[in-house]
Amino acid sequence: MGWMADETGLEKTAANYMPLTPLSFLKRAATVFPDHPAVVYGTHRKSYAEYFERVTRLASALTKLGVQPGDVVATLIPNLPAQAEAHFGVPACGAVLNTINTRLEPDTVAYILDHGGAKVLLVDPQFLPMAAEALERMEGPAPQVIEVADLHAGVHAHGHYMEYEELLATGDPDFEWIMPQDEWESIALNYTSGTTGRPKGVVYHHRGAYLNAMGQIVSWRMVLHPRYLTIVPLFHCNGWCHTWMMPVLGGTVICCRDITAPAIFDAIADEGVTHFGGAPIVLNTLVNAPAAQRRDFSQTVEVFTAGAPVAPATLAKIEPMGFNVTQVYGLTETYGPGTECTWNAAWDGLEGGERAAMKARQGVAMPFLEGVTVMDDQMQQIPMDGTTQGEIMFRGNGVMKGYFKNPKATAEAFAGGWFHSGDIAVQHPNGYMQISDRAKDIIISGGENISSVEVEGVLMAHPDVLLCAVVAKPDEKWGEVPCAFVELKEGVTEDEAGLIAFARERLAGFKTPKTVVFQELPKTSTGKIQKFELRAIAKGL
């Protein structure tokens, strides 16, 4: 198979083979772009030389705290410099980075800390009360806590724990980074919204993170010194690998704590933002921003959008404002984006709705994946006719190692030698995919996945609820919000406000149903609730 007749002396050596890792990107940038701005946030403006030193100090300080190679270090931080630094500093001491969704409830955070076995937890003071409750609920040993103050936003440390800058001060600026010996070593652990109960821990390797970062540069048509605004949460598929990608091009990461229209417009106008990624809700926010919140800017801003298909109406409105939107699609299991709606010059003449409809497709495989296509339940390619439905499947180096401590779920996800996305799509004659449904009944609200099963479980715990089903209700702002359909028990009087309040006590705010409809649920002959009927009702509300 492709070996020459004589391969004597043609082995891997230190001269011709190194394990691929995104850590190499920052090492190079510190030498090539030492004085170029690397990370910007208010008055925090660090060059690549300074960024490299801070990351090195973090790696050293974590080692001094007792973090060993292979240990997990967790974070509960918004899109701030410390979160970007953790993306390099944690793996640079040989550890695995576990960025936790700051919007989760204490019970789930406790589960993640227990399951991942985090040794250290970096926490923004805003989330310290939630973290403290999570630590109390843990079954295993609690991690050491480091507070990460955000003075720019007026978020001061509570003073109970060592503060992040103090931690960095204990680090050695000459610490030798612990580089992976094998590119299959784990770099990150990301918990994905569980469709049934607990979230699953998706494990990334150095090779996949390296290739995803490299491949997106090609897909995003990037050249030297992009200015990237962090809107995609860095806890979400490691910010789609974008923090790892920026040093390749000597790019500047512009941090954004709160995702609001004024914050985004100000960053574009004042910091010269050229690129950002975000869910459709972000585009809606910009389109609907009042004139007083908008700013003029001369550059075209390149946008990757994913999390849910963008409404053609939104696309048609945002592009004339100075944004070029590319639909991408992926999952936590694919390191973030794995497909892109690559634009074809033949479509240049399209306008309005026609152009937006073309742009709303999830597209084709990005360069670092061997295959992304749509198959039927026999694992056969579906007809590319734009109407036949199947499941999106992935294969290649941009697919996770598997689910942490869950070989059964991993084997199911990889059945037949492909990763099963669980997303239902059609394929057009040109091979471009378009999502038509969510196989798992996941509700996507503002780019966050919500398990309908989890919300139903909470409502079913209410003493007055006989039966319930939760589906996505279209929402102007969030794209989708949870809508609950409930059958009450005989002779009880609970109302909508009461049920929503009950759910809010037990769920993160974004998972709480926004509407409750009391009615008999439509069922099949075997008693299975027909969610498609409920979706139709929710659409008409």
**DSSP calls for 225-264:** S-EEE--S-TTSHHHHTHHHHGGGGT-EEE--SS--HHHH
* pTM summary value: 0.88
Statement: residue 166 has pLDDT above 80: yes
Beta strands in 334-464 (DSSP E): 336-340, 364-365, 369-375, 390-396, 402-403, 419-427, 433-438, 442-445, 448-451
Which of 180-194, 304-318, 323-337 has the weakest average pLDDT?
304-318
What is the average pLDDT across 298-302? Answer: 97
| Strand pairing category for 252-254 and 37-41 | parallel
* Distance of alpha carbon 517 from alpha carbon 510, whole angstroms: 18
Q: Confirm if 125 and 76 have CB atoms less than 8 A apart.
A: no
Q: Residue 526: what pLDDT?
A: 55
Largest distance between two CA atoms of the chain: 85
Distance CA 84, CA 242 (A): 10
Q: What angle do CA 433, 233, 25 make, to 5 degrees?
A: 85
Name the residue type at position 507: L
pLDDT band at 267 (very low <50, low <70, confident <90, very high): very high
For residues 72 and 100, the answer to whether their CB atoms sit within 8 Å is: no
Question: How confident is residue 322, by pLDDT bands cut at 50, 70 and 90?
Answer: very high
Secondary element (H or E) of residue 453: helix 452-460
Name the more confident of 195 and 391.
391
**What is the model's pLDDT at position 437?**
64
> What's the average model confidence in pLDDT over 289-304?
96
Under 8 Å between Cβ of 76 and 122: yes
Instruction: State mean pLDDT over 170-199.
Output: 91
Q: How many CB atoms lie within 10 A of CB 29?
A: 23
Q: Which two tokens stand for residue 236?
A: 């979400």
**Mean pLDDT computed over every residue of the chain:** 93
Please, are residues 418 and 445 in contact by the beta-carbon 8 Å criterion? no
List b or e across 153-164, with b for residues whose CB sees 16 or more CB atoms inside 10 angstroms: bebebeeebbbb
**Which pLDDT belongs to residue 2?**
87
Q: Which residues contact 65 (CB under 8 A, 6 or more apart)?
A: 119, 120, 144, 167
Domain extents in the chain:
442-540
* Nearest-5° Cα angle at 487, 482 to 492: 120
Task: Please report the pLDDT score of residue 454 as a whole number.
Answer: 81
Name the CATH code of domain 442-540 (choices 3.40.50.300, 3.40.50.1950, 3.90.1170.50, 3.30.300.30): 3.30.300.30
User: What average pLDDT does the segment 221-233 reach?
Assistant: 96
Residues 355-395: tens digit of each pLDDT:
888 988 999 999 999 999 999 999 999 999 998 989 999 99
- Digit-coded pLDDT (tens) for 23-32: 999 999 999 9
Q: Choose among 195, 191, 205, 5: nearest CA to 113.
A: 191
Give ∠ CA 34-38-40 in degrees, rounded to 5. Answer: 140
Q: Checking phi first, is residue 207 left (phi over 0); if not, alpha (psi -120 to 50) or beta?
A: alpha
462-517 pLDDT tens trace: 989 888 899 999 998 899 999 999 999 888 989 999 999 999 999 999 999 999 99
CA distance linking residue 194 with residue 241, whole number of Å:
21
Q: Over range 123-139, report the average pLDDT.
A: 98
Cα–Cα distance measured from residue 311 to residue 89, given in angstroms and rounded to the nearest whole number:
39
Model pLDDT, residue 118? 98
Residue 388 near residue 382, CB atoms below 8 Å: yes
Q: What is the DSSP letter of 233?
A: -
Predicted local confidence at residue 373, as pLDDT: 97
User: Strand order of the sheet with strand 479-488?
Assistant: 465-475, 479-488, 515-518
pLDDT at 116 over 60: yes
Rounded Cα distance between 254 and 397, Å, is: 29
Q: Which residue has the tokens 């010059």?
A: 345
Share of the chain above pLDDT 90, in %: 81
Residue 195, pLDDT above cutoff 70:
no
pLDDT of 189 over the 50 cut: yes
Q: N- to C-terminal Cα distance for the chain?
A: 61
